[in-house]
Structure 1
Amino acid sequence: MCESDPDEFPTLPISKKQKPCSSGGGLLQHFIKLFSVLLIYWNTLVDVVMFLITIFVLDDTKTPLKGPLGVGSTPRRIVHRTVSLEDVKLVKNAMNATINDVMVGVTQAALSRYLNRKYGKNKKDGGVAEGNSNLPKNIRLRATSFVNLRPYLGNEGVAEKKKSSSNVRLGNLIGYVLFPFTIALREDALDYVRSAKATGKRKKASLEAIYTYFMAKTFLKLFGTKVR
């Protein structure tokens, strides 16, 4: 077994070589490219506006998952379970998705069933029974997903790239996006993965992470890091 060298730079993923685009396609190809660019800017505008509204007025729905003020200082209980990576890859390949899509789908399913049981316990008609939906409509539940904004360095390692260019900066370069969870009971468990895949695809067609990074950076410059 090889031992790692603590003095070496970390190994980063190698960017895939993009296939050169053909010059054919004519007007239709240019229209598709223009539509894709406009879609990205529209999605970015919507996401940034929603982010700002969330900061000031828009809260998530009050559910058993959301504790009162001061809940951060109370004891917590964590339930964990080990899943097979091969099973995750099997679902990923079958649905042409990513591992993140599958894991987000699993999380959505777990949260939906947990909340359904919680709401069912408050009903006197046995709503907690299997198959009964006790969930309120239109539950708003979101998570913060961190996004690495640093581009891949390609085939060169960190050390070689730093020697060849003085513009390489080390350190964190992270933005974040608001990722909405779909809370609902599904007859087909794979629907949770389909929903996560669609949401992930929508978030990838947006520059929200870049804007949130610069917003956070500007905030720190104006107000500093001290919290009073």
Structure 2
Amino acid sequence: MEDLYIVVTIGLGSALNLPVLSAGIATQLARYPRFQSIQVADGGSEGGNRRWARVKVNVDDHIIVPALDPVAVEADADQVVEDYAASLVTLPMDASRPLWEFHFLDFPTSEATSTVVLRVHHSLGDGVSLMTLVFASARSVADPTRLPAMPKQPERTAAIYMPRPRSAGAMAFLGWVWSYFVLAWNTMVDVAFFAATVLFLRDPKTSFSCSDDDTVFSPRRRFVHLSLSLDDVKFIKNAINCTVNDVLVGATSAALSRYYFRKPGNTITEKICLRSVLPVNLRATTSLQKYVNLIESGKSGDVGWGNQLGYIILPFHVETHDDPLVYVRKAKKTLDRKKRSLEMVFTCKISELFLKLFGMKAGAFIFGHMFANTSMVFSNVIGPAEPIELCGHPITFIAPGAYGVPQSLVVHYTSYCDTIKVTLSIDDEIFPDYSQLLDDFAESFRHIKDAASGL
């Protein structure tokens, strides 16, 4: 995971006040031990175990204001931001300093007055811990004296973390026992497929696949995004009686299918199955509120920073359907099946066990082949439910992406206020027409919404 980074593009609703932002970054990040630390190897050996070592942070080393061509900015500011974010993939970070940096682009685009691009190494945090950073560092636009209101956390719909309540009666008892039998069976099957994926089971070669079999990522990367209406997604959810995640997975499957079958070079006409690595947060659903409270009380060291993730191998069916809602219904069926499994817990514990028993090379083997033998990464994070400001600068959108995995496609959904931002991290050698794929996401959502309206 050494080369795995997160890139977050943040749109601001005002021009940059660099001194205020710099002071805010220095004040906020100084509270987080991991943002003041570097990774060092025990005994000075590259192959030794890694540990965190605290260092003195000079904020100026982590703030970058690039000199960009004003003619290019005037011609197409959106393209300049996209090109600049893509260029970060080829620029190494100095491992002698904490691996995070802010890039400030002070010119207007179609969605923002100015833009901040945050690049951070994935070892500093996963989606939940970084969203905790956003909540603890930002303030509500409606009332700048208070923290943003916490988003409503999703309810668990299956017995993943707690036992099912036992009801009275013989039939109820049999149902209770059967639920645990199903849980054990699904877990056993899923863990077996996970092990097979790590060892030998590889997705079929398609136009979504990388050009070689190496686990090394491609330096050619683009980060593109579009906004969807959260109300539209909830409308589809209520029409079909499913969850927001079901809608997002179904729409992704529809977009990939739309893109695949339109390209003339794709000769496979029957349905194909592409598998995605889906990271799952293993913290309690109340952890976001708990962590923000700890930070506000001065106990940021007690926050669960870093990565607390399990992994699911999630199939995406690339096929054509006359009814767009079939994609969502199939996604619901797949996710309901995954909820009746402890796959994410076992994959996390197995990876940790191998890392402790056999060292970093064994851990690298598991992660490298898990990513290399699947076709894409899929993730989503719940963001602020109301407009927020960062150091006095109102935020218009948040678009996180990632690079450093061998897959040619990473799909990430993030909610903010009444929108959901779809961010695609794309290998533009595999997807030279990546803007068309982004349009396919928009079209697929539109067709699914129209079909849901017909209900």
- TM-score, normalisation: structure 1: 0.76
**Aligned residue runs from structure 1 range 52-201, under 5 A:** 52-69=195-212, 72-77=217-222, 79-118=224-263, 121-122=264-265, 135-153=268-286, 157-158=290-291, 170-171=304-305, 172-201=307-336
- Deviation digits for residues 129-158 of structure 1 (CA, Å, limit 9, x no counterpart): xxxxx644352301111111122459x945
Q: Alpha-carbon deviation of 1:79?
A: 5.0
Q: Is 2:345 the partner of 1:210?
A: yes
Structure 2 distance, partners of 1:198, 1:91, is: 16
Q: Is the 8 A contact 2:281 2:310 kept in 1?
A: yes
Q: Is the 8 A contact 2:310 2:348 kept in 1?
A: yes
Secondary structure, counterpart of 1:185 in structure 2:
coil
| Residue equivalent to 2:388 | none
| Residue equivalent to 2:48 | none
Q: Which of residues 348, 360, 373 is equivalent to 1:224?
A: 360
- Deviation digits for residues 87-127 of structure 1 (CA, Å, limit 9, x no counterpart): 11100011111111101111000101111112xx138xxxx
**Cα–Cα, structure 1 residues 40 and 4, in superposed 2: closer, same or farther, change >3 Å?**
farther
Q: In structure 1, give the amino acid aligned to 2:229.
A: S
- TM-score, normalisation: structure 2: 0.40
Of all paired residues, the percent bearing the same amino acid is: 37
**Cα–Cα, structure 1 residues 31 and 206, in superposed 2: closer, same or farther, change >3 Å?**
same
Q: Alpha-carbon deviation of 1:16?
A: 6.8
Q: CA RMSD of the aligned region, Å?
A: 3.5
Structure 2 distance, partners of 1:182, 1:28, is: 36
Q: Alpha-carbon deviation of 1:223?
A: 1.5
Structure 1 distance, partners of 2:172, 2:325, is: 34
Q: In structure 1, give the amino acid aligned to 2:313.
A: L
Q: Is the 8 A contact 1:12 1:152 kept in 2?
A: no
Segment drifting more, 171-180 vs 41-50: 171-180
| Residue equivalent to 2:185 | 42
Q: In structure 2, give the amino acid aligned to 1:96.
A: N
Task: Give the paired residue count.
Answer: 205
Q: Alpha-carbon deviation of 1:182?
A: 1.2
**Cα–Cα, structure 1 residues 179 and 4, in superposed 2: closer, same or farther, change >3 Å?**
farther
Q: Is the 8 A contact 2:166 2:173 kept in 1?
A: no
Q: Alpha-carbon deviation of 1:15?
A: 8.6
Q: Alpha-carbon deviation of 1:174?
A: 1.2
Q: Which of residues 173, 176, 189 is equivalent to 1:30?
A: 173
Q: Alpha-carbon deviation of 1:85?
A: 1.2
Structure 2 distance, partners of 1:195, 1:14, is: 24
Q: In structure 2, give the amino acid aligned to 1:94.
A: A
**Cα–Cα, structure 1 residues 62 and 75, in superposed 2: closer, same or farther, change >3 Å?**
same
**Cα–Cα, structure 1 residues 16 and 137, in superposed 2: closer, same or farther, change >3 Å?**
closer
Structure 1 distance, partners of 2:146, 2:318, is: 45
Q: Which ranges in structure 2 are unaligned for 5 or more consecutive residues? A: 1-140, 157-161, 366-455
Q: Is the 8 A contact 1:12 1:157 kept in 2?
A: no
* Structure whose residues are more often strand by fraction: 2
| Residue equivalent to 1:126 | none
